[in-house]
């Protein structure tokens, strides 16, 4: 595309590359269905390029190619499919939350408790899994403020935090773009802490440690704190709350890049802890990925599965712990349906190991292994 600008949907921040000649025209976002006017933007910056590289949602392909935004009617009768979305309000001119730092736990933000009454704050999390960043099959969870849970309910905090409120797809089907307003307050907590503050997790990730709420007292004045484990989620959250032009935003952008480049650190802390109980990295190898076993729950993620490095493939399930060297010949047999995949791992005299996983994970493992040009063969059989 010749002279082009980056147009950004003011509702969901989806980016589109469009010709300069489209400045001033009206379009409709393919992500959230919001109509907006194409405005002139500054030159493409590092963040835009980074977004192109890291975006994993198929709907974002329009950023790199034809947008498909134009040539359609924008009347009220136009049907616009919307999937897994709530509509973000435009970010404020100045940050409504304060970024206070970044550490091993994640990014820390603070704000006043009364700000929980602000719907714009509470619907500012991005529309993706807060652990692995995928956008499909999302489940809605609500932030819990443990310090405000009545004593009689304190024993239920962990259960409340891990409980799925509802599947986002079901909420969207029932309430369309008004699904956020359909969320009910958490009646066991006092106002304003009972106001629903949703974020999303996919079925394959654990909710533990993804988003944590805390209430602190500073000189007799209460402050809410959010700890967001994944820097990319924190980056989107801060941008949606007006933090884009701050030093903290740039720091989060760098952290997002670094995490993207470090496959080990891209895993949730709890998953890394469980993996460390059976996978011991060698000094001369690079970690390439972890593939969870579907027979284990979200909270057990990391207790079983396959770890792939540039030297070996390590399998763990129940009492079985096997290591397959990549410099020796081996092969994978993958049997997949649209929703399930089983991978049989074969090598020499070692016992055959079977990983129960998802088609996406099986594809990723096969693709990564093929790209390494090792002496491994892969056979795939698909079934309906």
304-320, pLDDT tens digit by residue? 999 999 999 999 999 99
Please list, in sequence order, all residues whose beta carbon lies within 8 angstroms of the beta carbon of residue 229, skipping any fewer than 6 positions away: 105, 106, 130, 131, 209, 210, 211, 268, 269
The full set of domains in the chain, from first to last, is: 4-63 (2.20.28), 98-261 (no CATH), 269-382 (2.30.29.30)
pLDDT of the residue at 191? 94
Query: Greater confidence, 349 or 325?
Result: 325
DSSP letter (8 states) at residue 352? P
107 three-class SS: strand
Q: What is the pLDDT of residues 248-261, one digit of tens each?
A: 999 999 988 887 77
As a whole number, mean pLDDT of residues 58-64 equals 33
Report the chain's C-alpha Rg in angstroms: 23
pLDDT band at 293 (very low <50, low <70, confident <90, very high): very high
Q: Is the pLDDT of residue 182 over 60?
A: yes
Backbone phi, then psi, for 232, in 5-degree steps?
A: -70, -35
CA dihedral (308, 325, 372, 270) in degrees, to 10, reads 10
Q: For residues 21-37, give the mean pLDDT.
A: 73
pLDDT greater at residue 159 or residue 166:
166
Averaged pLDDT for residues 195-217: 89
Task: Quote the percentage of the chain above a pLDDT of 70.
Answer: 80
pLDDT tier, 149 (very low <50, low <70, confident <90, very high otherwise): confident
Neighbours of 4 (CB within 10 A): 14
* Residue 376 reports pLDDT greater than 60: yes
pLDDT band of 330, cuts 50, 70, 90: very high
Question: Which residue, among 32, 26, 37, has the nearest Cα to 12 in the 3D structure?
Answer: 32
What would the mean pLDDT of 359-366 be, rounded to a whole number? 87
Give the pLDDT confidence score for residue 88 in this predicted structure. 67
- Which of 56 and 20 is assigned the larger pLDDT? 20
Which sign, positive or negative, has the C-alpha torsion 298, 300, 302, 306? negative
Question: Tens of pLDDT along 232-291?
Answer: 999 999 999 999 999 999 999 998 888 777 778 777 777 888 999 999 999 889 999 999
pLDDT at 86: 54
pLDDT for residue 76 is more than 60: no
33-37, 68-72, 133-137, 151-155: range with highest mean pLDDT: 133-137
Distance (Å, rounded) from C-alpha 138 to C-alpha 125? Answer: 13
Q: Answer yes or no: are the C-beta atoms of 209 and 268 closer than 8 Å.
A: yes
Orientation of helix 46-54 relative to helix 247-261, angle to 10°: 30
Buried b (16+ CB within 10 A) or exposed e, 312-350: ebbbbbeeeebebebeeebebbbbbeeeebbbebbbeee
CA–CA separation, 136 and 234 (whole Å): 19
Sign of CA dihedral 98, 100, 106, 110: negative
Q: Taken in order 70, 74, 78, 84, is the CA torsion positive or negative?
A: positive
pLDDT in tens, 83-123: 334 566 788 989 999 999 999 899 999 999 999 999 999 99
Those residues whose C-beta lies under 8 Å from the C-beta of residue 19, and which sit 6 or more positions away, are 1, 2, 3, 4, 5
pLDDT-derived band at 81, boundaries 50, 70, 90:
very low
Q: For residue 168, which phi and psi values (nearest 5 degrees)?
A: -60, -35
Mean of pLDDT values over 309-334: 96
* Mean pLDDT for the chain overall: 81
Q: Which residues pair with 344 in a beta bridge?
A: 333, 354
- Distance of alpha carbon 43 from alpha carbon 57, whole angstroms: 24
pLDDT of residue 114: 97
Per-residue pLDDT for 218 more than 70?
Answer: yes
Using alpha carbons, select from 224, 148, 161 the residue that is nearest to residue 191: 148
- Mean pLDDT over residues 77-83, rounded? 33
Angle formed at CA 31 by CA 44 and CA 263, multiple of 5 degrees: 65
Is the pLDDT at 228 greater than 90? The verdict is: yes
């Amino acid at each position: 595309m010749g002279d082009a600008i980056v147009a950004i949907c003011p509702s969901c921040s989806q980016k589109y590359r469009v010709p300069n000649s489209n400045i001033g025209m009206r379009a409709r976002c393919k992500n959230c269905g919001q109509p907006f006017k194409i405005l002139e933007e500054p030159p493409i910056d590092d963040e835009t390029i980074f977004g192109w590289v890291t975006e994993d949602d198929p709907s974002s392909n329009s950023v790199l190619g034809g947008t498909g935004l134009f040539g359609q009617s924008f009347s009220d009768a136009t049907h616009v499919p919307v999937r897994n979305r709530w509509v973000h309000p435009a970010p404020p001119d100045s940050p409504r939350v304060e970024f206070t730092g970044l550490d091993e736990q994640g990014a820390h933000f603070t704000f006043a408790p009364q700000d929980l009454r602000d719907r714009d704050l509470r619907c500012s999390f991005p529309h993706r899994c807060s652990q692995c960043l995928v956008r499909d099959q999302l489940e809605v969870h609500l932030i819990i403020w443990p310090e405000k849970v009545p004593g009689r309910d304190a024993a239920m905090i962990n259960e409340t935090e891990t409980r799925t409120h509802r599947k986002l797809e079901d909420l969207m089907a029932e309430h369309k773009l008004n699904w956020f307003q359909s969320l009910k307050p958490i009646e066991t907590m006092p106002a304003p802490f009972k106001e629903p503050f949703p974020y999303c997790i996919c079925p394959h990730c654990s909710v533990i440690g993804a988003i944590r709420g805390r209430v602190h007292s500073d000189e007799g004045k209460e402050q809410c704190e959010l700890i967001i484990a994944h820097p990319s989620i924190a980056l989107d959250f801060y941008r949606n709350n007006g933090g884009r032009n701050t030093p903290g935003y740039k720091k989060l952008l760098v952290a997002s890049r670094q995490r993207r480049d470090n496959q080990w650190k891209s895993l949730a802390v709890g998953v890394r802890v469980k993996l460390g109980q059976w996978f011991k990295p060698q000094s001369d190898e690079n970690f390439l990925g972890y593939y969870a076993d579907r027979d284990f729950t979200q909270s057990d993620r990391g207790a079983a599965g396959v770890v792939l490095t540039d030297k070996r493939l390590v399998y763990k399930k129940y009492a079985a712990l096997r290591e397959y060297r990549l410099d020796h010949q081996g092969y994978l047999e993958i049997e997949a349906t649209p929703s399930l995949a089983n991978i049989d791992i074969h090598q020499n005299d070692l016992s055959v190991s079977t990983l129960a996983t998802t088609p996406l994970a099986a594809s990723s493992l096969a693709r990564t292994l093929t790209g390494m040009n090792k002496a491994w063969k892969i056979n795939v059989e698909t079934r309906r």
